[in-house]
Chain A
Amino acid sequence: MLPRDCSRRLMAELQGALDACAERQLQLEQSLRVCRRLLQAWEPTETRASEPPPGPETNEEDPSPACAPSPQDLKELEFLTQALEKAVRVRRSITMAGETDKAPSLKSRSTVAPPGAIAFAPPQTPGQAGGHASDTRPTKGSCQTTVPPKGHSERQLLSLGDKTRVRTGARAPRPGPGLRDQQMAPSAAPKAPKAFTLKEKGHLLRLPAAFRKMASQNASLWAQLSSMQTSDSTDATAAKTQFLQNMQTASGGPQPRLSAQEVEAETGRLWKACTLLRLRMREELSAAPMDWMQEYRCLLTLEGLQAMVGQCLHRLQELRAAVAEQPPRPCPMGRPPRASPSCGGGADPAWSPQLLVYSSAQELQTLAALRLRVAMLDQQIHLEKVLLEEEVGGLERRRTQG
């Protein structure tokens, strides 16, 4: 059996590691769910209370509700729809496109939008599943963006219509095209109704204007904050330093030279130093010097390393003295990050997010896998350290007790 106190700490650390992994796994799975859902066909949200579908629908296949547009909205919709239909008819007569039946319904579909719709070009799912809701998306009144210029959406839709030949089944204001879902189209292309998928029509999405505005404001505010950070006003800095000094002198108590946090940070640095020095020593000892010059340098390096270790030990004695002066208080509120040998801690003053550019899925995978591997090694090292600490501590304790 392991010594009791040794085992307690090791078990606690192991449990902590397991919990951290489990938590990370949960987060990943949640994110995976979201991603998978995004890549499937987008279901229109049916969560709203049932409302009458806008427009003079004769279409019976449309049970799913849309946002509740006001009567005025409905009127506007109607006008819009009719205007656009007309435009399409005119255009159609010019282009003599084959999919004439689709275009108007496409048009009506996507611009059946109250003034606050997303500029969302792709039409909605057709009546394949028996009245799957159509484009509730554009009609969702909760969005606050402006309607895109009609010409724009028109163009998009026409191109869409030409490309994908999607038919919108359900809510054509003109009953004809809608009900001709099942018929064979004149052109040879298959007319299978399609749901919206990111794969096919993702590139047609557009973010709402309100969001874009807010996001750019956000980015610029963060940038201002960053620049203000780096060029901090000297007046304010001086005032703060003065205040801190005043606090120190007015403290009316023994002044600790080093706070527990600082001791911990310094200890971490010394640990890192020890690791790096040891690695370097191994390198020097294993290298075979080719000539006397190299040999001389090797000697100097070893002696230099020795001196540095001496300095570290000296610093450690100072830390020990500081710690002994006031018994170190535990910091139960969150542990500071462990000083991994390969990275340092510390907050970066650049607050606004920078980019990480990748060029292929494989590259991203490699990156993520390596990142996890480093984290895993870090954790293993920590556990190993804990074990070592406990062993050494146990040995010392037994020596002093025995």
Chain B
Amino acid sequence: MGRRRRPVDPAAGARAGALPEAIAALSQSLPSGPSPEIFRRAKFDRPEATPALWQLLFRVLAPLPLDNRLASLAPEVQARLVKSALRSQGYPRLALAQLPEDGSQGSRELLLALSWLLARGPVLEQMLAQTRVPLGDEMTVCQCEALASPGPPAPQVRAEDPVDVRHVQWLMGKLRFRWRQLVSSQQEQCTLLSKIHLYTSGCHGDHSLGHLSVAEAEMLRDPEGGQQLLRTLECENRRLEAVLAWRRTELVFWRWMDTVLDTCVLGVPAAASQGTFLPQIPECSGGVLELVAWELRALQEELQEAAEHRRAAWEAKAGGCGRGPEWSAVRRASREAVEKELGALRRCWEQDRDPAQPHVPHRLVRREDGAAGDRDLRAAEVIRTLRSQEACLEAVLHQLQGQCRQELARLAGALPGLIWIPPPGR
């Protein structure tokens, strides 16, 4: 294979046979993954390996579901999007940005990019989880991702037409109506689901589940479709096995990638090589940063005023209390208690993951007694959590609406030509 062995690591030589295995496992666990040969060619920067790697990177980086719009993009556009996505994730090497987008060269750099992504996170598992065959009736408790706007705003909004306030209000009404529709459809679906679960209870071989899901019942009703389900399941099992094999053998792959990196010539691209970047689309993070800054400053002012006021009042009242030992003990206890509370508050936003509200879909299971295992969720608890979330969100919305009104009033005052519109989303 012509691999350059690292002189310092004799053990890697002994494991040399595992490399093809690892690469084969990797290739099988990637969706429509490139053949192992592509990986080997890429190490030597062979141009024929390039298009496959661009495609693979696009599949890995593109948001699912991979709809027709994204899948039918031209390879050059896909390549550009890959570059942009890697850059926004902080890919360190500038050489990637300089690669031509026609797929004529650069396979080694692309291989490095792929490995970089694989090293940073459980990419394979995530991809599998996204395309998982849902055997049960699944519900994701937190819908923050499900109802995010699909992708970048479509360029249908004509920038030239000034927008009529009434049009905005009409759209808001339409949105409210659609929500109501969703609610009633959802209620009906729950009733039907519940019935299906009830009628098929006792059927499932797996007693922890107890009843059939819609997918399973559908498979019995329509065996042809069931065959399809079976085939998809089989595919998924194969990919799962490949990922497990990869996890067992990946060590030798990383050692190999170090050697690939060594073979790269350290190119020093000029700093002014920005020409290959995308044209400037309105930034997504700049505006938000400013808004948060503005909010925080306003909050700081409010807090400052309130705290000073309270402090003055306190000093006036308690100034005569003296500085006895029990007084300082009490002070310390209070301080500690407050610190603890505020620490918990801080954790609320610093923690990225909230264990009580997982974003993983859960399989719905109906049980008369509602008993659930350790790792399972109980509907009653979820309902409680959702209610408190609802309360919190309502408070936030209320506050935001107030701010919007204030701000609009200010704008109306500062710029007399502007017409005041009522804030949306009541």
Bound-complex Cα distance A236 to B195 (A): 48
Q: How many A-B residue pairs have CB under 8 A?
A: 638
Q: Which residue of B lies closest to A273 (CB)?
A: B349
Q: In the complex, which of the residues B147, B193, B267, B358 contacts A24, with contact meaning CB atoms closer than 8 Å?
A: B147
Contacts A38-B221, A365-B190 known; A379 to B311 CB distance under 8 Å? no
Whether the pair B348, A276 counts as a contact (CB closer than 8 A) is yes
Pairs across A and B, CB under 8 Å, 8 listed: A28-B186, A34-B214, A252-B93, A347-B126, A356-B363, A357-B367, A374-B389, A391-B411
Given contacts A207-B203, A333-B63, contact A358 B93 (CB under 8 A): no
Give 1 or 0 for each of A76-118: 1 = CB within 8 Å of chain B CB. 0000000000000000000000000000000000000000001
Contact of A375 with B143 at beta-carbon distance under 8 Å, contacts A243-B257, A398-B415 already known:
yes
In Å, the complex CA distance between A9 and B234 comes to: 45
Query: Does A330 contact B189, Cβ atoms closer than 8 Å?
Result: no
A301 CA to B303 CA, complexed, in Å:
10
Inter-subunit contact B174/A328 (CB<8 Å) = no
A13 and B394 CA atoms in complex are apart in Å by 20
B72 at interface by CB-CB < 8 Å: no
| A216 CA / B207 CA spacing, docked (Å) | 12
Contacts of A262 in B (CB 8 A): 90
4 new A-B contacts at CB < 8 Å, known A38-B218, A354-B363: A21-B179, A118-B223, A202-B196, A301-B341
Contact B187 A368 (CB under 8 A): yes
Q: Is the CB of B396 within 8 A of A275?
A: yes
A176 is an interface residue with CB less than 8 A from chain B? no
Pair B288/A267 contact, Cβ less than 8 Å? yes
Binary CB contact string for chain B from 323 to 351 against chain A (1 if under 8 A, 0 otherwise): 00000001100110111011001101111
- Is the beta-carbon distance between B192 and A36 smaller than 8 angstroms? yes
B349 interface neighbour in A239, A272, A278, Cβ under 8 Å: A272
Chain A positions 221 through 261: 1 when the CB is less than 8 Å from some CB of chain B, otherwise 0: 11011001100010110011111101110111111101111
Is B5 an interface residue, CB under 8 A from the partner? Answer: no
Q: Mark B392-411, 1 if CB is under 8 A from A, else 0.
A: 11111101110110011011
CB-based contact A357/B376 at 8 Å: yes
Which of B226, B295, B387 has the most CB atoms of chain A within a 10 A radius of its CB?
Answer: B295
Question: Could you say which of B142, B264, B304, B397 contacts A250, with CB atoms under 8 Å apart?
Answer: B264
B76: A residues at CB distance < 8 A: none
Nearest chain B CB to A237's CB is how many angstroms away?
Answer: 10
| Separation of A285 and B383 alpha carbons in the complex (Å) | 30
User: In the complex the two chains form, is B331's CB within 8 Å of A353's CB?
Assistant: no
Contact among B92, B186, B209, B230 for A253, CB-based, below 8 A = B92
The answer on a CB contact under 8 Å between A370 and B390 is yes
Query: Which residue in chain B gives the minimum CB-CB distance to A307?
Result: B342
Q: How far, in angstroms, from A256 to B139 measured CA to CA in the complex?
A: 39
CA distance A10 to B109 in the complex (A): 40
User: Is B4 part of the contact surface with A, judged by Cβ < 8 Å?
Assistant: no
Q: Which residues of chain A from 176 to 212 have a CB within 8 Å of any chain B CB?
A: 198-199, 202-208, 210-212
Question: How many residues of chain A get a CB closer than 8 Å to chain B's CBs?
Answer: 194
The stretch from A148-156, A164-172, A309-317 touching chain B is A309-317
Instruction: List, in ascending order, chain A residues with CB within 8 A of B100's CB.
Output: none
Contact of A365 with B191 in the complex, beta carbons under 8 Å:
yes
Q: Is the CB of A211 within 8 A of B244?
A: no
Q: How far, in whole Å, are A254 and B92 apart by their CA atoms in the complex?
A: 8
> Who on chain B is nearest to A263 by CB?
B285
- For B351, the closest partner residue in chain A by CB is A344
A129 part of interface (Cβ distance < 8 Å)? no
Question: Does chain B have a CB within 8 A of A15?
Answer: yes
Contacting residues, chain A, for B363 (C-beta < 8 A): 353-356
Which residues from chain B contact A369 at a C-beta distance below 8 Å? 183, 186-187
How many chain B residues touch the partner (CB < 8 A)? 223
Q: Are A377 and B397 in contact (CB under 8 A)?
A: yes
Residues on the A chain within 8 Å of B191, using CB: 361, 365
CA distance A195 to B307 in the complex (A): 74
Option from B369, B407, B425 in Cβ contact (under 8 Å) with A383: B425
B364 to chain A, nearest CB (A): 5
Q: 1/0 per residue A39-73: CB within 8 Å of B?
A: 10010010100000000000000000000000000
**Inter-subunit contact A391/B404 (CB<8 Å):** yes
**Closest approach, in angstroms, between the C-beta of B60 and any C-beta of chain A?**
11
Cross-chain contact B285 with A264 (CB below 8 angstroms) = yes
Partner of B218, one of A34, A316, A378: A34
Q: Is the CB of B400 within 8 A of A388?
A: yes
Indicate if the CB atoms of B159 and A8 lie closer than 8 Å.
yes
Nearest chain A residue, comparing its CB with the CB of B240? A221
How many Å lie between the Cα of A202 and that of B311 in the bound state?
70
Which of B30-38, B41-49, B81-89 lies at the interface with chain A?
B81-89
- Closest A residue to B205 by CB, please name it: A212
Q: Are A20 and B150 neighbours in the complex by a CB distance under 8 Å? A: yes
Q: Is the CB of B88 within 8 A of A331?
A: yes
Task: Give the residues in chain B near A334, CB-CB below 8 Å.
Answer: 62-63, 151
Contact in complex: A247, B224 (CB < 8 Å): no
Is A325 part of the binding interface, using a Cβ–Cβ cutoff of 8 Å?
no
Cβ of A74 within 8 Å of any chain B Cβ, yes or no, is no
Instruction: Find the B residue at minimum CB distance from A196.
Output: B221
* CB pair A28 B291 closer than 8 Å: no
Among A204, A309, A358, point to the contact of B370 (Cβ < 8 A). Answer: A358
In this complex, what residue of B is CB-closest to A24?
A: B182
B350 cross-chain contacts in A, Cβ below 8 A: 269
Find out whether the CB atom of A309 lies under 8 angstroms from the CB atom of B303: yes
B240–A222 touching, CB < 8 Å: yes
Contact A252 B354 (CB under 8 A): no
A2 engages B407 (CB within 8 Å): no
Q: Are A302 and B354 touching (Cβ within 8 A)?
A: no
With contact pairs A2-B165, A239-B251 given, residues A375 and B146 touching in the complex (Cβ less than 8 Å): yes
Q: Which of A16, A47, A342 has the most CB of B within 10 A?
A: A342
Q: Does B102 contact A (CB under 8 A)?
A: no
Residues 174-203 of B at the A interface (beta carbon under 8 Å): 174-175, 178-179, 181-183, 185-196, 199-203
Q: How far is the CB of A126 from chain B (nearest CB, A)?
A: 18
Contact B200 A345 (CB under 8 A): no
Q: Establish whether residues A389 and B116, one from each chain, have CB atoms under 8 Å apart when the complex forms.
A: no
Complex-state Cα separation, A321 to B235, whole angstroms:
48
B410 with A8: CB separation less than 8 A: no
Determine if B291 and A389 form an interchain contact, defined as CB atoms under 8 angstroms apart: yes
